[in-house]
Structure 1
Amino acid sequence: MDKIPRSLASEDPDKSSLIGEVVRSPTSWKRNLAVLWIAQVFTVAGFSFSFPFIPFFVQELGIKGEGQASLWAGLVQASMGLAMVATSPVWGLVADRYGRKINMLRASFGGAIFIFLSAFSSNVYQLMFFRFFTGVFSGTFGPAMALVAAVCPRNKLPFAMGILQSAFFTGTTIGPLFGGLIADAWGFQGAFLGTAVLLGIAGVIVMLFVREDFHPPANLSVFQRHAYVNLFHLLTSRELVPVLGTFFVVQFAPVISFVVLPIVIASIATSNIGSVTGIAFGVTGLAGGLSSYGAGMLTKRVRMTRILTVACVGMSIVIFPLFFVREMWLVYLFLACGGVFQGAMLSMGGGLVGLAVPSEVQGAAFGALQSVTVSAFTLAPLTGGGIASQFGPRWVFPAQSVCLLGAALLAKILLAARVGKQAEVPRDAPKVEDNTESGCSS
């Protein structure tokens, strides 16, 4: 990479001590992938317990009106997102210094504590305060992707990232379904408490079963002195900027409707709003999980940039009709179709980033990807809430469709032209057996 300092390149033996290294061992890399997949399912399911119901929780805390509830739900999410945007690259540097596993433990247990506290908020300002610190201390997907990328054979990386991304959609399938049942039975506070419990379980799984033999930098003082300079060079590198820029839009577009979808569903459904909303999000997650797994397999034959472009166009087409529908079965149908394309879209991000940077700085790179993701998750609800408050909730869906077409255009022009060929796995890459030196030992 042209702007990444040579101190970050493993081929420079005199300076490689500045970056921590995950030592590869005969242990199967698939073991860590499987354990991290399970942990991520618990984590995402936990957040999905409460995320779809934030607009309703905001209304319980005294905010009246659909438009205002959507706007405040966006602001609450933004408080968490802004904190995560600012801290994710820093946590990525911590991972490169102290190891990816301990970084995941920080995210799991830190998130559990502040989600637990947010359940006892008495007004929206307290809720926003606790969500902010949830953003500071949570965020497991970046560390999980960095750990997988550090131990996975390079020619298996797109497949591994597709599998890991499927955990996101599996969690978003399970979480809203059970979260909706809990919300109907014990209120929306119960959904937040369920989130805290599941994040704690995920942390225990990582602590007990993830194996990492991490060697920290030998020269800590030099590492600390150059850490932020190296991070700046990484984030402005020619290889990484197009990927991060494109994936900001890719992540932004699907999330615009998140804060208004529960409001739209409430205007259609007549009873059991929590369960019906949970099913709607669960249908999307189920379709996305199956799709992300299939997209990971498809990267063996089709370029990732092409998969990304087609998926963006497809989701744009199937989301637009939600502006018109007045029946729940049609809502489920179009959300399921959108989930298929969304799963393919999001599963490409980790693979493109992992192949664009040296393994020694993947902690910081995936921290940057997480910042981009959270930036999208921060601005998209605000955008959706603003559109809903000005024009009505349903006008968010046409705006979402236009954004998806913009994402397809960026993927086609920016990624395919600048990093498409460099970020593809060679078709003639040698196969790596399960027992090769590609795992982590304890």
Structure 2
Amino acid sequence: MLKKLEQFPIWQRNMYVLWVGVFLTGAGLSMVNPFLSLYIDTLGNFTKSELSLYSGATFAISFLMMAIVSPLWGKLADLKGRKKMILRAGIGMSIVFIGMSAVSNVWELMLLRALQGAFGGFISNSNALIASETPLERSGYAMGVMMTGSTAGTLLGPLFGGMMADAFGYRYSFMLTGGLILLSTILVLLLVKEVFVPVKRGETLSRQAVFKTLKYPGVMKGLFFTTMMIMTVNQSINPILALFVRELNHHGSNTALLAGIVAATPGVAALIAAPRLGRLGDKLGTSKVMMFGFGLAFIVFLPMGWVSAVWQLAALRFFIGISDSTMMPALQTLITKTAPHEVVSRMFAYNQSYQAMGSVIGPIIGAVATSFFDYRGVFIISGLIIGINGIWFRYNTRQLREDGIA
């Protein structure tokens, strides 16, 4: 196995190793995240609106911390290397998730979720390392492959996590998640070889100076906004998804498994579609593939508000997985193509901050929408947001299309 890896170029070898790492991390995270609201329900006696509020807040606080600290980690990555940031994230998150298995109330869980956000970044730093070392003509392919790692984990994690939750309870899922992230960290420590030239401390650019190195600074900021809106839509749904499945299942005993299946269906689609769409983006243009994704998401989100059975929700979520496969890898590819090599880590860190901000806004929108329109209103509002986001992306990237970049 190791001898086979040595036959590949360094960027490709790292891609394969980090694929395994993001797969294990994605599996671990998705073993617990889809069921977080159901776990919260075991920590007290809550009304429907209180449960939605606490679920949204518990989701949001992690991403709020991530938004605050991501630029700091990005700057540190320029000084110390992306591999060290992956190791830092892996060690911190593994400890935090093991701690989550022992909480006794929702406030302790919120505190640990905040620490999770502060230590986070395993997958995003892995993507940044691959993006910075991959030849530009292979960047779409590489980012598509990396997405299959996290989405394959996202596919298997909810299924295994749902079965574990139904059989043994939710706490064991948190312990296993910590173990999987620790295993990922060990793989990176032993097998990833980063080709990194550190930026000297005195030569680290300020935020303003970083954006002055960009040919399209306005477009880059617009891409960050697009990222934020995509995450707003995704995270407006995630905190209430398991609760909605429980309602559709009429509070049946196998709710965790069904919620795991519904959470996993986008991963099935992404696993199939992401590499193919990445290569298609390299061939036809990234923006064309992304516009297809925006259109598909808009069409699929709206009928989710009228589903009457779990299988209908799962089927529509499959198509959301296809649309997701066009969006985040394509955005990462555009960031790579429009940022000089020496500031790619900073751009990915800023992009992660916007992802985190979207992940803060999303649960708030979901909680408010649930209070006024019940769970179904969240899907309709999300469809409208994604449609507006597609129009904005089309307008923002017009210069890139004219210059043949997108």
Give TM class, smaller chain.
over 0.9
Q: Please state how far the C-alpha of 1:227 moved relative to its aligned partner.
A: 4.4
Supply the AA of the counterpart residue of 2:138.
K
**SS state at 1:61 partner:** coil
Q: Please state how far the C-alpha of 1:245 moved relative to its aligned partner.
A: 1.5
Aligned sequence identity (%): 26
Instruction: State how far apart, in whole Å, the 2-side matches of 1:288 and 1:229 are.
Output: 36
Contact 1:166 1:347 in 2 (8 A): no
Contact 2:213 2:340 in 1 (8 A): no
Aligned to 1:143: 125
Instruction: State how far apart, in whole Å, the 2-side matches of 1:234 and 1:247 are.
Output: 21
Aligned to 1:257: 237
Aligned to 1:402: 384
Aligned to 2:400: 419
Contact 1:67 1:392 in 2 (8 A): no
Supply the AA of the counterpart residue of 1:312.
F
> Does residue 341 of structure 2 align to residue 359 of structure 1?
yes
Distance change (3 Å), C-alpha of 1:175 and 1:423: farther
Instruction: State how far apart, in whole Å, the 2-side matches of 1:412 and 1:311 are.
Output: 12
Instruction: State how far apart, in whole Å, the 1-side matches of 2:54 and 2:213 are.
Output: 35
Aligned to 1:279: 261
Aligned to 1:305: 287
Question: Cα deviations across residues 285-341 of structure 1 (Å, max 9, x unaligned)?
Answer: 111222222210111322111211121111111121121111222122111122111
Q: Which has the higher contact order (CA 8 A, sep 6+)?
A: 1
**SS state at 2:194 partner:** coil
Contact 1:239 1:357 in 2 (8 A): no
Distance change (3 Å), C-alpha of 1:162 and 1:63: farther
Aligned to 1:86: 68
Aligned to 2:185: 203
Distance change (3 Å), C-alpha of 1:96 and 1:318: same
**SS state at 1:313 partner:** helix
Q: Please state how far the C-alpha of 1:349 moved relative to its aligned partner.
A: 1.5
Contact 1:67 1:393 in 2 (8 A): no
> Does residue 354 of structure 2 align to residue 393 of structure 1?
no
Q: Please state how far the C-alpha of 1:250 moved relative to its aligned partner.
A: 2.3
Aligned to 1:12: none
1:245 to 208, 225, 230: 225
> Does residue 323 of structure 2 align to residue 337 of structure 1?
no
Instruction: State how far apart, in whole Å, the 2-side matches of 1:395 and 1:35 are.
Output: 41
1:294 to 276, 285, 291: 276
Unaligned runs of 5+ in 1: 1-24, 426-442
Aligned to 1:268: 248
Instruction: State how far apart, in whole Å, the 1-side matches of 2:271 and 2:52 are.
Output: 27
Question: Cα deviations across residues 85-140 of structure 1 (Å, max 9, x unaligned)?
Answer: 11111111111111111110011111111121122111111111111111111112
**SS state at 1:62 partner:** coil
Instruction: State how far apart, in whole Å, the 1-side matches of 2:404 and 2:272 are.
Output: 24
Instruction: State how far apart, in whole Å, the 1-side matches of 2:87 and 2:271 are.
Output: 24
Instruction: State how far apart, in whole Å, the 2-side matches of 1:318 and 1:207 are.
Output: 41
**SS state at 1:67 partner:** helix
Structure 2 length-normalised TM: 0.93
> Does residue 307 of structure 2 align to residue 325 of structure 1?
yes
Q: Please state how far the C-alpha of 1:52 moved relative to its aligned partner.
A: 0.6
Aligned to 1:120: 102
Distance change (3 Å), C-alpha of 1:120 and 1:231: farther
Instruction: State how far apart, in whole Å, the 2-side matches of 1:286 and 1:242 are.
Output: 30
Q: Please state how far the C-alpha of 1:239 moved relative to its aligned partner.
A: 4.0
2:54 to 72, 91, 95: 72
Q: Please state how far the C-alpha of 1:71 moved relative to its aligned partner.
A: 1.6
Instruction: State how far apart, in whole Å, the 1-side matches of 2:219 and 2:309 are.
Output: 45
1:179 to 147, 161, 166: 161
Supply the AA of the counterpart residue of 1:273.
T
Supply the AA of the counterpart residue of 1:158.
G
Question: Cα deviations across residues 162-181 of structure 1 (Å, max 9, x unaligned)?
Answer: 21122221111011111111
**SS state at 2:307 partner:** coil
